[in-house]
Amino acid sequence: MFAPHSGGAAANVALMAARSGARTALAGGVGDDDWGRWLRGRLERAGVDLDHFKLIEDMPTPLALTTVDLAGEPTFRIYGEAIAPVVSALGDSVEAAVDASGGLFISADTLSGVAGRTVTMRAREHALGLGCPVIFDPNLRLQRWHSKADAAATANACVPGALLVRANAAEAQLMTGEDDIERAALAIRKAGARNVVITDGAGGAILRGKIKLDVAGVPARVVSTIGAGDALMAALIARLQITGFYEPAIAAALKEAMVVAARACERWGACD
């Protein structure tokens, strides 16, 4: 049985954070086709600002055909160019999109190709130059990268100056070479992140930064892990945005964010 679910890490985060009461905007684009209009409609109904989100003519919306194993772990097969719509939509207006925002969220989804990386890093540098808080979630899908070394180096380039870096244990190990999440968090902080959250599935999560916090894992009857990290990220971003990006809000939100992520694992679509 196949069922459609909206996706894309940034879209998921924007949608779920908006449902949690945050003011969010999504910059990018999809094709001006049935799937693109369907996704835009879901975002619009959730209250996401789409002033910088375009429907692009003659460009099909990319689709991911996803299968899930018995442990809930996904395998993705992407059809269509996932990054071209973003580059086409934002090539000339990325700075204006940042200017209109109180904070910037980026992930590695748009970093694996040269064109997408250029646009994303322009947004990041512009935000840092304005003193605008930057939040980074690696969300590394290694099949999109030429090598693990390229993925790690590109992700690490997004760490300096970040208000928050959120990674799972595997991503943190790839970025730092440390297989202990405590040492990995220390390495990411030394690289320039003000706050680091590392999640370890059922093992819980740690926050290292202005506040030090350990949160236990939350039991879940796992159906699919797709989007669980996006759900957690959305919960943290929602609290940060609502509080004016007050750093202690990360600690205040982390336990509930772990609950939200666990519940997302119990349904087929994290945004459903």
Residue 164: predicted pLDDT: 98
Residue 43: predicted pLDDT: 96
**Number of helices followed by number of strands (H, E) in the chain:** 10, 10
Residue 81: predicted pLDDT: 66
Question: Which residue shows structure tokens 């992407």?
Answer: 78
Ordered structural domains, the chain, with CATH: 9-264 (3.40.1190.20)
Residue 24 neighbours by CB under 8 Å, 6+ apart: 13, 14, 15, 17, 18, 47, 48, 49, 237, 241
Residue 87: predicted pLDDT: 67
Q: In tens digits, what is the pLDDT along the chain, a chain of 272 residues?
A: 567 888 888 999 999 999 999 999 999 888 899 999 999 999 999 999 999 998 988 888 888 888 888 887 888 777 776 666 666 667 778 899 999 999 999 998 888 888 888 889 999 999 999 999 999 999 888 778 889 999 999 999 999 999 999 999 999 999 999 999 999 999 999 999 999 999 998 899 999 999 999 999 999 998 888 889 999 999 999 999 999 999 999 999 999 999 999 999 988 887 88
| pTM of the full structure | 0.93
Residue 16: predicted pLDDT: 96
* Contact criterion met (CB below 8 Å) for 206 and 213: yes
Token pair, residue 100, equals 């209109």
Paired strand residues for 75: 67
Paired strand residues for 167: 198
